[in-house]
Amino acid sequence: MTDLNEKLRVVIADDERPARSFLAAMLCECEGVELLGEAENGAEAIQLIEREKPDLAFLDLQMPEVDGLGVVRLLKKSRMPLVAFVTAYDEYAVRAFELNAVDYLLKPVDRARLLQTLQRARERLELSDWRTRESERTQAAAAEYDSASGAAMQRLTRIPIRQNEEILLLPVRDIASIVAEGELLHITTTTNQTYLLAYRLKDLEARLDPDTFVRLSRSALVNLETLHRVSPLPGGSYVATLTNGQQLNVSRLQSRILREQLLKL
């Protein structure tokens, strides 16, 4: 439970400097609020939140590469603060509360609405188990919304991957294959570096260029630029060999698609 006499500790993440400065100035004028820092992108936001351990984070939904949802997904559960999403587009407003957000603010932020958000945050902080409840519910909701929202259809050029205390932005062009194993994705690069990503294969596939990445099976995607050789196997299927030497089995259905679409002049 939080002491009502303590200041509400907050951070801001927004890639637009004017919007970030406007919100920061407004927060500094609010009684009982301590602004711990600002981040200009999602990767910085994760580092800031995990370092400062704020009560509340104002996250822009439309930051490039690691957006507000990405920040929520990549944060350590033990560091999850309350979240208020900020954006210039009101089309997301209805969905904001499905993400378990404290509130949803439109740019430019209105002072009265900001005060409401701060009050809602204080009320949630009064719950003794708020951090456990918020981290589990918010991260689950963000993952679900990320796969269903229209914003998720934007093509990725780099994929944010958590590595201990850092966030690696892996260029999509460097990826040779993506193989699902349970709830984890094994990403292998053209130089045979491997990374793990907690994400659903079908959701990641929806954000990749379909002219570049194709299915080899229910559990594998391959970058066509790295497809070196396709060898037939008994039964009408194939095994694909990539330029990095990796070999992946091609399902019977996808073998037929490969024959019809890719293996004909």
pLDDT, mean of residues 132-147: 54
The confidence score (pLDDT) of residue 194 equals: 95
Write the pLDDT tens digit of every residue in 189-217.
999 999 998 888 988 898 899 889 999 99
Domains of the chain in sequence order: 8-153 (3.40.50.2300), 158-261 (2.40.50.1020)
Alpha-carbon distance of 215 to 236, in angstroms, equals 17
pLDDT, mean of residues 231-241: 84
CA angle 179, 192, 152 (to 5 degrees): 45
In this structure, the dihedral spanned by the alpha carbons of residues 59, 65, 70 and 71, taken in order and rounded to 10 degrees, is -50
pLDDT at 123 over 50: yes
Strand order in the sheet with 184-189: 194-198, 184-189, 175-181, 220-223, 213-217
The confidence score (pLDDT) of residue 263 equals: 60
The confidence score (pLDDT) of residue 166 equals: 78
pTM value is: 0.66
Residue 198 — φ and ψ, nearest 5°?
Answer: -85, 100
Alpha-carbon distance of 76 to 81, in angstroms, equals 10
